[in-house]
Structure 1
Amino acid sequence: MTKIQFEVLRYCYENKTIDVETFAHELYKPEEVINDAVEYLCVEGFIKENMVTRKGEKELESHKVENAVILAAGMSTRFVPLNYELPKGLLTVKGEKLVERQIEQLHEKNIMEVVLVVGHMKERFEYLVEKYGVILVETTEYTSKNNHASIYAAKNYLKNTIVTSSDLYFSENIFQTYAYDSYYCTLYMSGKSAERGIETDGDDRILDTFYGDKCYDIWVTLGYAFFSKRFSKKIIEILDKEYELPETTNKFWADIQDEHLEELYMYAKRCNNGVIHEFDSLEELREFDDKYLNDSGSKIMKKICYLLAVQERNIIGLASLKKIRPSIFRFRCKGDIYICDVEPDENEKISYDGRVYYQCRDVQEGSVKLFKMDKNIKIGGRYSVDLQKELDQLYDFSHDFKEYHETALPLCAAENVISPFANLPLSFGFQERYIMNNTYSFNMDDNFIGCEKLFPFYQKISEVCERIFGAKYTDPRPFTGMHCIDMITKTNCKPGEKMMILDKAHGGHASVKPVVERLGVEVISAPYDLDENDLDYEAVNLMVKEKGIQYILLAPSDLIKPLDIEKIDTTNCVLMWDCSQLMGLIAAGLCPNPLKTKRNIIMFGGTHKTFPGPASGLIMTNEKNLHELMEKEINPKFLRHSQMHQKICLLFALVEFEQYGTAYMSHMVHCSNYLGEKLRDAGYDIANIDGQISATHQIFIRCSKDEMDTIYDNAYKCDVTLNKKHKDLFYGYGIRLGTQEIARYDWNDEALDVIADILIQLSNKDINIDEVRKMVANLPKKIIHYAFDNEIVDRFRNLMQ
Structure 2
Amino acid sequence: MNKQEEDILLSLYDEPFINQRILSETTGHSLGVVNKSIKNLLKNEYLDDDIRLTSKARESIKKKAPINAVILAAGFGMRMVPINLETPKALLEINGEALIERTIKQLREVGIKNIYVVVGFLKERFEYLIDEYGVELIVNEEYATKNNLYSLALVSDKISNTYIIPGDVWCDRNPFRKNELYSWYMVSDLVDDESDVRVNRKMELVTVPEKKGGNAMIGISYLVGEQAEIVKQRINAHVRNKRYDGSFWEETLYEKDRMIVSARVVHATDIIEINTYEQLRELDEDSNHLKSDAIAIITNALDVKAIDIIDITVLKKGMTNRSFLFSCRDKKYIMRIPGEGTDQLINRKEEAHVYQTIKDKNICDDIIYINPNNGYKITEFIEGSRVCDPNNVDDLKMCMKKLKEFHALNLSVDHEFDIFKQIDFYEKLWDGTSSVYKDYEKTKKHVFELKKYINEHIDKKCLSHIDAVPDNFLFTKSGDIRLIDWEYAGMQDPHVDIAMFCIYALYNKRQVDRLIDIYFENKCDKETRLKIYCYIAACGLLWSNWCEYKRNLGVEFGEYSLRQYRFAKDYYKFFMEEMIENESR
Interval containing the TM-score (normalised by the shorter chain): 0.5 to 0.7
Is structure 2 residue 170 aligned with structure 1 residue 187? no
Contact in 1 for aligned 2:67/2:112 (Cα 8 Å):
yes
- 1:722-761, aligned counterparts within 5 Å? none
- 1:776-795, aligned counterparts within 5 Å? none
> Secondary structure at the residue paired with 1:102?
helix
Match of 2:238 in 1: 242
Residue 376 of structure 1: how far off its partner (Å): 8.8
Match of 2:32 in 1: 32
- 1:343-742, aligned counterparts within 5 Å? 343=338, 345=346, 346=348, 347-348=351-352, 356-360=364-368, 364=371, 366-367=373-374, 369-373=376-380, 386=477
Task: State the one-letter code of the partner of 2:272.
Answer: H
- 1:47-446, aligned counterparts within 5 Å? 49=50, 51-190=52-191, 193-198=193-198, 200=200, 202=202, 204-206=203-205, 208-215=206-213, 218-258=214-254, 265-291=260-286, 296-325=290-319, 326-343=321-338, 345=346, 346=348, 347-348=351-352, 356-360=364-368, 364=371, 366-367=373-374, 369-373=376-380, 386=477
> Secondary structure at the residue paired with 2:64?
coil
Residue 4 of structure 1: how far off its partner (Å): 1.5
> Secondary structure at the residue paired with 2:163?
strand
Task: State the one-letter code of the partner of 1:120.
Answer: F
Q: Indicate how the Cα distance of structure 1 residues 250 and 26 shifts in structure 2: closer, same or farther if over 3 A, else same.
A: farther
Q: Indicate how the Cα distance of structure 1 residues 330 and 179 shifts in structure 2: closer, same or farther if over 3 A, else same.
A: same
Q: Deviations over 1:648-677 (max 9, x none)?
A: xxxxxxxxxxxxxxxxxxxxxxxxxxxxxx
> Secondary structure at the residue paired with 2:185?
strand
Q: Indicate how the Cα distance of structure 1 residues 230 and 56 shifts in structure 2: closer, same or farther if over 3 A, else same.
A: closer
In the alignment, the residues of structure 2 paired with residue 22 and residue 178 of structure 1 have an alpha-carbon distance, to the nearest angstrom, of 20
> Secondary structure at the residue paired with 2:29?
coil
Instruction: Point out 4+ residue stretches in structure 1 off by more than 6 angstroms.
Output: 374-377
Q: Indicate how the Cα distance of structure 1 residues 157 and 261 shifts in structure 2: closer, same or farther if over 3 A, else same.
A: farther
Residue 70 of structure 1: how far off its partner (Å): 0.5
Q: Indicate how the Cα distance of structure 1 residues 19 and 285 shifts in structure 2: closer, same or farther if over 3 A, else same.
A: farther
Match of 1:6 in 2: 6
Task: State the one-letter code of the partner of 1:286.
Answer: R
> Secondary structure at the residue paired with 1:327?
strand
> Secondary structure at the residue paired with 1:254?
helix
> Secondary structure at the residue paired with 1:74?
coil
In the alignment, the residues of structure 2 paired with residue 196 and residue 250 of structure 1 have an alpha-carbon distance, to the nearest angstrom, of 16
Q: Deviations over 1:503-562 (max 9, x none)?
A: xxxxxxxxxxxxxxxxxxxxxxxxxxxxxxxxxxxxxxxxxxxxxxxxxxxxxxxxxxxx
Residue 13 of structure 1: how far off its partner (Å): 1.8
Residue 237 of structure 1: how far off its partner (Å): 2.1
Q: Deviations over 1:87-112 (max 9, x none)?
A: 11111113321111111111111111
Q: Deviations over 1:774-798 (max 9, x none)?
A: xxxxxxxxxxxxxxxxxxxxxxxxx
In the alignment, the residues of structure 1 paired with residue 326 and residue 383 of structure 2 have an alpha-carbon distance, to the nearest angstrom, of 18
> Secondary structure at the residue paired with 2:280?
helix
In the alignment, the residues of structure 2 paired with residue 236 and residue 295 of structure 1 have an alpha-carbon distance, to the nearest angstrom, of 36
> Secondary structure at the residue paired with 1:164?
strand
> Secondary structure at the residue paired with 2:327?
strand
In the alignment, the residues of structure 2 paired with residue 150 and residue 19 of structure 1 have an alpha-carbon distance, to the nearest angstrom, of 46
Give the TM-score normalised by structure 1. 0.43
Q: Deviations over 1:158-199 (max 9, x none)?
A: 111110101111111121222222210122334x62212235
> Secondary structure at the residue paired with 2:108?
helix
In the alignment, the residues of structure 2 paired with residue 39 and residue 179 of structure 1 have an alpha-carbon distance, to the nearest angstrom, of 21
Q: Deviations over 1:554-611 (max 9, x none)?
A: xxxxxxxxxxxxxxxxxxxxxxxxxxxxxxxxxxxxxxxxxxxxxxxxxxxxxxxxxx
Q: Indicate how the Cα distance of structure 1 residues 329 and 221 shifts in structure 2: closer, same or farther if over 3 A, else same.
A: closer
In the alignment, the residues of structure 1 paired with residue 381 and residue 119 of structure 2 have an alpha-carbon distance, to the nearest angstrom, of 41
Q: Indicate how the Cα distance of structure 1 residues 232 and 2 shifts in structure 2: closer, same or farther if over 3 A, else same.
A: closer
In the alignment, the residues of structure 2 paired with residue 18 and residue 77 of structure 1 have an alpha-carbon distance, to the nearest angstrom, of 51
Q: Deviations over 1:320-367 (max 9, x none)?
A: 2243244322323334433333327434569xxxx9544445x52852
Match of 1:431 in 2: none
What number of residue pairs does the alignment pair up? 373
> Secondary structure at the residue paired with 2:190?
strand
In the alignment, the residues of structure 2 paired with residue 259 and residue 365 of structure 1 have an alpha-carbon distance, to the nearest angstrom, of 53
In the alignment, the residues of structure 1 paired with residue 55 and residue 186 of structure 2 have an alpha-carbon distance, to the nearest angstrom, of 29
Contact in 1 for aligned 2:335/2:377 (Cα 8 Å):
yes
> Secondary structure at the residue paired with 2:279?
helix
> How high is the sequence identity, in percent, across the aligned residues?
25
> Secondary structure at the residue paired with 2:324?
strand
In the alignment, the residues of structure 2 paired with residue 69 and residue 120 of structure 1 have an alpha-carbon distance, to the nearest angstrom, of 17
> Which consecutive unaligned segments of at least 5 residues does structure 1 have?
390-801
Task: State the one-letter code of the partner of 2:232.
Answer: I
> Secondary structure at the residue paired with 2:72?
strand
Q: Deviations over 1:428-470 (max 9, x none)?
A: xxxxxxxxxxxxxxxxxxxxxxxxxxxxxxxxxxxxxxxxxxx
Residue 201 of structure 1: how far off its partner (Å): 6.1
In the alignment, the residues of structure 1 paired with residue 367 and residue 477 of structure 2 have an alpha-carbon distance, to the nearest angstrom, of 24
Q: Deviations over 1:141-174 (max 9, x none)?
A: 2211211011111112111111010111111112
> Secondary structure at the residue paired with 1:318?
strand
In the alignment, the residues of structure 1 paired with residue 85 and residue 235 of structure 2 have an alpha-carbon distance, to the nearest angstrom, of 31
In the alignment, the residues of structure 2 paired with residue 31 and residue 261 of structure 1 have an alpha-carbon distance, to the nearest angstrom, of 30
Contact in 2 for aligned 1:47/1:56 (Cα 8 Å):
no
Residue 372 of structure 1: how far off its partner (Å): 1.8
Q: Deviations over 1:600-632 (max 9, x none)?
A: xxxxxxxxxxxxxxxxxxxxxxxxxxxxxxxxx
> Secondary structure at the residue paired with 1:266?
strand
In the alignment, the residues of structure 2 paired with residue 21 and residue 125 of structure 1 have an alpha-carbon distance, to the nearest angstrom, of 47
Contact in 2 for aligned 1:64/1:160 (Cα 8 Å):
yes
Contact in 2 for aligned 1:24/1:30 (Cα 8 Å):
yes
Q: Indicate how the Cα distance of structure 1 residues 295 and 47 shifts in structure 2: closer, same or farther if over 3 A, else same.
A: same
Q: Indicate how the Cα distance of structure 1 residues 356 and 63 shifts in structure 2: closer, same or farther if over 3 A, else same.
A: farther
In the alignment, the residues of structure 2 paired with residue 183 and residue 372 of structure 1 have an alpha-carbon distance, to the nearest angstrom, of 46
Q: Indicate how the Cα distance of structure 1 residues 99 and 295 shifts in structure 2: closer, same or farther if over 3 A, else same.
A: closer
In the alignment, the residues of structure 2 paired with residue 14 and residue 317 of structure 1 have an alpha-carbon distance, to the nearest angstrom, of 45
In the alignment, the residues of structure 2 paired with residue 153 and residue 40 of structure 1 have an alpha-carbon distance, to the nearest angstrom, of 41
Q: Deviations over 1:60-117 (max 9, x none)?
A: 1011111110000001100101111101111111332111111111111111111101
Q: Indicate how the Cα distance of structure 1 residues 368 and 303 shifts in structure 2: closer, same or farther if over 3 A, else same.
A: farther
In the alignment, the residues of structure 2 paired with residue 66 and residue 184 of structure 1 have an alpha-carbon distance, to the nearest angstrom, of 17
In the alignment, the residues of structure 1 paired with residue 20 and residue 144 of structure 2 have an alpha-carbon distance, to the nearest angstrom, of 48
In the alignment, the residues of structure 1 paired with residue 12 and residue 383 of structure 2 have an alpha-carbon distance, to the nearest angstrom, of 67
Match of 2:518 in 1: none
Contact in 2 for aligned 1:341/1:370 (Cα 8 Å):
yes
In the alignment, the residues of structure 2 paired with residue 76 and residue 249 of structure 1 have an alpha-carbon distance, to the nearest angstrom, of 16
> Secondary structure at the residue paired with 1:131?
helix
In the alignment, the residues of structure 1 paired with residue 255 and residue 2 of structure 2 have an alpha-carbon distance, to the nearest angstrom, of 26
Q: Deviations over 1:216-257 (max 9, x none)?
A: xx5453240112242232223223333232322222112243
Task: State the one-letter code of the partner of 2:59.
Answer: K
Task: State the one-letter code of the partner of 1:131.
Answer: E
